[in-house]
Structures are given as C-alpha cells and as structure tokens.
Chains A and B, each alone.
Chain A
Amino acid sequence: MAVTEAPLPRPALVEILRSTKAMGTLLSLVWVPLTIYVMFPNSVPDGIRDSLLIPSIPAVLILYAVGVHSWRESRVAVIGLTLICFWLLMAVSAPYLPLADPNKPIMPFAVPGAERDGHIFWLGADFKGRDMLSRAIWGCQRVLVWGVTATLIAYIVGTLFGLLAGYLAGWWDEIISFVANVFLSFPVMVLFILILNYLGPSGFNIVIAVTFASAPAVMRIVRGLTLDIKQRDYVLAAQTRGEHPFYIMVVELLPNARGPIIVDACLRLGYTTVAITTLTFLGLGLQPPDPDWGLMIRESAGTAMLWKFSYMLLVPALSVSSMILGFNLLADGLREMSLRD
C-alpha cells in the first residue's frame, strides 16, 4: 500500500481562537474597555465612552463559544462558564439594554410586576424607587471590574515574591516567608477592616487591601510549585547556559506552574468577589450612589425587613451567589480535567 502524504488540514477556526495570543486579545478587548468605563469614567470623551463597550459584546460571545468547545468534556466547567459569561455579558451590554436609569428614583417600594408610566418593574424597586432589575445588572459591572483587578494585582505581587522565595531560597525565603506568615496569621477580615479604615473606603483601596490579604497565600502556593519545578532538568540546563535568574523565573518556571495557579485564581476570584460584597455591606467598600450588590444588601437590610419587600434582599443575594457559583464550578471542572490528564 502506497503511503500517501495526507494533506495538512487547515487549522480550524476554533484552534486559531484557542491560541494564547487570540485569547489574550479577546480578554483584553473585554477587560480594558470595561475597566476604563468603570474606573476612569471621566477620562474619555462622552462620545467615545458611549460606544466603548460595543466591541466587547462579540468578544464575550466568542470567548464563551471557545470556552464551551474546549471544556466540553466537563459539564460542571461549562455550567460555571455559562454563569460567568452571563454576568460578563450583562456587564458589557448594560449601557445598551433598554433599562431604567439605575440611580433614578421612580416609584418607592414598587413590588415586582408593578407598573408606572408604561415602565414595568420586573423585579420591583427599592426603598428609593430605583429599578431593581437595572441596579442588579449595573451592579455586576463594579463587582467584576474591582474583583478581577484586585485578584490580578494580588496575583502579580504574590507570584513575584513566590518565585523569589522559591527560586533564590536562603535568606530571601526566610524573610519573605516570615512576612507572609505575619499577614496570614492576621484574621482576614481584621486585616481588611484595618487597611480600609486606615486608607478610607474606595475601590482602589479595596485593591490594596485584597493584595495584602491574598498575596501571601498566593506566594505560598507559587513558592511550593517553584521548589518542585526548579529540580527539573530544563531549569538546570538554563542555569548551565548561564541565563539570568530573572529569565529562568519568568520564562522557565512560571509557564510550567500555570495549571495549579489558574485553578487557584478561579477560586480566589470567587473569594475576592465575596470579600468586596461583604466589605461593601459592612460599609467599608464601594460607596453610594452607584449600584453595587453589597450596597443594595446594606441599604435593604436597614429598610426592608418585611416578607412583602424581601425581593430587595433576595435579588442582590441571588445575583452574587450565582456569580460565585460560576467561579467555583469552573475551578472545580478545571481541576477535575487537569487531574484526568
């Protein structure tokens, strides 16, 4: 039988989209506009701001399709991804949906289904008369942006110190580990409360507080992984080549530690989201009037402790739960898949 050379198949569209570069582009296409939109609302002219999030909508949809395709073997991961992408889609499309202004008081204590001037309150209105549906959808923007930014920065700091402690060992390790232990033995909530009370409540200070609280734990994980990986032959090869330690850390060690880091990041995103909501509930986080789930709970807990108005508490509570459930299920699915390989 003659051996015929099989024609090289053209890479499928999915394969192209799964490449690191394409995923990075898509993620930044969602992330950068959303961050600018929420964090620096006044730094861009109004005309651009109005259309800033339009390219993010297809980007989220493509990300979702690629994610479902690559993780289709794990039902749990797909359910998690669906929940996350639903909120992500809500976050980027909130300005273009036919929603009432989330900060405009219309009809105080309107129960779900009530109507005024042709506007139907599908989820009711809060004690000031602001539309709950609109507030729930707008609220996810802030939670997502601040939560992911805080986690990202905590990860950068934690990974850096973890690599230093794990790879350089010796005194570096002793000092970094001791500082991390000091932070870890602080009760997390006390640490949050102290930092935010000292710096004052705001989104940027939440990022700092989350970094102080999460980075030591991240550092420990990365340090452990580094200690394991640096025994491998390819690291020795790089050392023999005379590569700079920094090069070895970033190019040789980091990419090979990414699996467990990604799973942990997913879980930590959930924790951070809970922490932000909780801090806002305690009055230390994001400030009114802009909609936010923790804030909605805080305001309603003081005004609506009645069965008739319990939707005011339930809407934000269920929203935040579904988002955390998404992160946890995705992390669970990813871990399951990585164990199977």
Chain B
Amino acid sequence: MLKLILRRLAQMVLIMAVVSFVLFVIFDSDKFKKQIAVAELGGFAVSALTEEDYRAWLASKGLDVPFHERYANWMANLFQGDLGHSFEKNTEVAGLLADRLLNTGILAFWVFALMIPIALTLGVIAGIKEGSPQDRVTSFISVFFTSIPEIATAIILTVIFALGLQWLPAKSAMIGGWNWQELVLPVMTLVLYDFGYVARMTRASMAEVMTSQYIRTAILKGIPRNRVILRHALRNALIAPFTVIVLQLNWLLSGVVVVEVFFQYDGFGKMLLEAALFGDIYVIQAGTLVAVFVAVLSQIISDIGYTFLNPRIRFN
C-alpha cells in the first residue's frame, strides 16, 4: 500500500516537472511575450515601439533572460516558497492563489454539502428496486439534469431567479463585500449539473448490492425490509459512490470555469482563464501545479478510501 502511494507521488512529481517545463516553453515564445506587451502597453504603443525600446521593456519585466536560466530561477524560487509575481494583477502569486483557492473552496464546500445528500438519497431510492417506477423517474431526472450543460443551467436559473422573480442577484462578483446571496446561483447550478452523475453511480452500485446473495438471505430470514436496506445494503452500496465523490474535487477546482465566468465569481478557474488569456506565466504555472496536485491527490485518496472501505480488495 505504502509502496503504491509512493509510486503515485513519484509519478505526480514527474508529471508536474514535465507540465511546468512544457508550460514554460510555450509561454517563453515570442508570441506570448508580445501578447503581454500588447495587454500592458496597448496595441498601438507596441507597434510604435522600436526594437530597442521593446528590448528595454522586456528587460524591465525580466523577460529577456534566457529560457533555461529563467526556468532554473523559477524552480529555485519555488522550493523557497516564492511563486513569483503576477504581470497582470501586479501582486505576489502566492497571495492571489490563496485568495482564489479560498473562494473556490467555499463554493466547493456548499456544492458538496448539498449535492452529496441529494445524490445519495436519490441513487439509493432508485437502486432499491431496479426497473420500478421510482427507479425510472429518478434515473430520468438524473440523466436529464446531467445532460443540461453548466452554461445552460446557469442561464435558466439566472433568468428565473434573478431576472424574473428578482430574488437573487444575477452576478456574484462580490463587489460590495462578501454576500451570501450571490453564492446561491453558482452553487445551485453546480449542484444541479453534478448530482445526476453521482446519483447514477449510487443507483448502479445499490442495484448490484440488492441482487446479491446476502441481501436475499437477510430478507428470507425475515428481517424487516427497512433494516435490511439500512444495515446490510447501504454499507456496501456506498463504497463506489465514495470514490466518485472524491474525484469530483478535481472537477470543482478547475472544471467550473464557465460558471465562475458567467457569474463573475472570483474563483480559481476564472483566475486560470484570465492568466492564460493574458500570458501571465507565473500564475498559470502555480495554478496548473495546484490543479495537477489536487487531481493526483484526489485519485490517491479515492483509491486508498476504496481499499479501506472494501476489505475484499487488497493491494499486494
């Protein structure tokens, strides 16, 4: 087990090294340097610059340093906990990253807090009896909501609750300080999009457990049906959904760019999009490393959790 985790972590470090190197190569190209210049000085100013002035500007930003030197510097700083400086926001990357991660964390917390109970309840209800009307209805609801893309859910909810009923604000930029009301629509959008997937996984797992021998034995022994479901079936049926839920962490971190952009919520995904559009290399580097870290970590957690919850699986 320990060996497996170490192997995974080693692979993660290797992947991070490859990813950061590739990103550096991409963003070190002349095209992206020019893009930063255009974004900062304006298109006309850049086209009016002489070659010498442009070089001076590059030097002032520290962009004229040869590639390998820059990469080595960045690596060295990284190990000292210095993530570099954002060109676009003109702040330290570490502070910006922590701020945005906190925002996305709050969003993710509420999505999980609502999505997990809803999805598990629906999935269990559907899976208790495969093919029954309750199964058909809940399964259809799950497919239906998962099929509506996040952007469409966001639009429909905004039109209903913000533009029509005017109960909630349409944007979540939090301009006037932190406002819980502004969090409702993004959370609702993500819950509606995501619960169907988890519910379907729970349903499949529950349905499989309900057909197994030990459940039949328990029912034939005369144990009340509710007790069989709560005591015997649920324990095994909730193992598979657990791994799926942990893997949603990864999606919530960086897969929700659209929702954050649509509602103008200052989260991690929006930061990455803005940085990529601006060519803000240090922000992208830091953000991508965090994303890769969370992706691999959530995989490891889900694997470990699976082995702990399911004693039939043991890694040798």
A251-286 interface bits toward B, Cβ cutoff 8 Å, 1 = contact, 0 = none: 000000000000000000010001001100110000
Do the beta carbons of A185 and B258 come within 8 Å of each other? no
12 further A-B contacts with Cβ under 8 Å, apart from A282-B257, A294-B151, are: A182-B19, A185-B12, A187-B254, A190-B276, A190-B284, A193-B257, A193-B273, A194-B276, A198-B32, A278-B258, A305-B163, A306-B163
Tell me how many residues of B have a C-beta within 8 Å of chain A.
46
> Quick check: is A189 within 8 A (CB to CB) of the other chain?
yes
Determine the chain A residues whose CB is within 8 A of the CB of B150 once the complex forms.
Answer: 274, 278
Contact B261 A282, beta carbon cutoff 8 Å: yes
Which chain B residues lie closer than 8 Å to A306 at the CB level? Answer: 163
Interface residues of A in 73-92 (CB under 8 A from B): 76
List B contacts of A317 (CB < 8 A): 151-152, 155-156
Q: Is the CB of A277 within 8 A of B163?
A: no
B269 within 8 A of A: yes
Tell me, in angstroms, the Cα distance from A187 to B254 when the chains sit together: 6
**Which A277-322 residues have a C-beta within 8 angstroms of B?**
277-278, 281-282, 294, 297, 301, 305-307, 310, 313-314, 317-318, 320-321
- For the complex formed, measure the closest distance between the CB of B298 and the CB atoms of chain A, giving whole angstroms: 11
Is residue B104 contacting chain A, with contact meaning CB distance below 8 A?
no
Q: Is the interface of A mostly helix, strand, loop or mixed?
A: helix
Q: Which of A189, A281, A310 has the most CB of B within 10 A?
A: A189
| Separation of A317 and B291 alpha carbons in the complex (Å) | 29
Q: Which interface class (under 10, 10 to 19, 20 to 34, 35 or more) fits A?
A: 35 or more
Main secondary structure of the interface of B (DSSP, over half): helix
B contact residues around A281 at 8 Å (CB): 151, 258, 261-262
A332 close to B (CB within 8 Å): yes
Within the complex, what minimum Cβ distance (angstroms) separates A275 from chain B? 9
Taken together as a complex, chains A and B put the C-alpha atoms of A33 and B211 apart, in Å, by: 50
Q: Nearest-CB distance from A340 to chain B (Å)?
A: 11
Most central of B151, B257, B288 by chain A CB within 10 Å: B151
On chain A, the residues within 8 Å of B23 by CB distance are: 194
Q: How far is the CB of A30 from chain B (nearest CB, A)?
A: 23
Interface membership of A217, Cβ < 8 A:
no
Check: B137 CB closer than 8 A to any chain A CB. no
Query: Is A313 a contact of B159 with CB atoms below 8 Å?
Result: yes
Q: Are B15 and A185 in contact (CB under 8 A)?
A: yes
Known: A313-B159, A324-B149. A190 touches B18 (CB 8 A): no
The residue that B277 contacts in the complex, of A197, A278, A307, with Cβ under 8 A, is: A197
Q: Is A221 an interface residue (CB 8 A)?
A: no
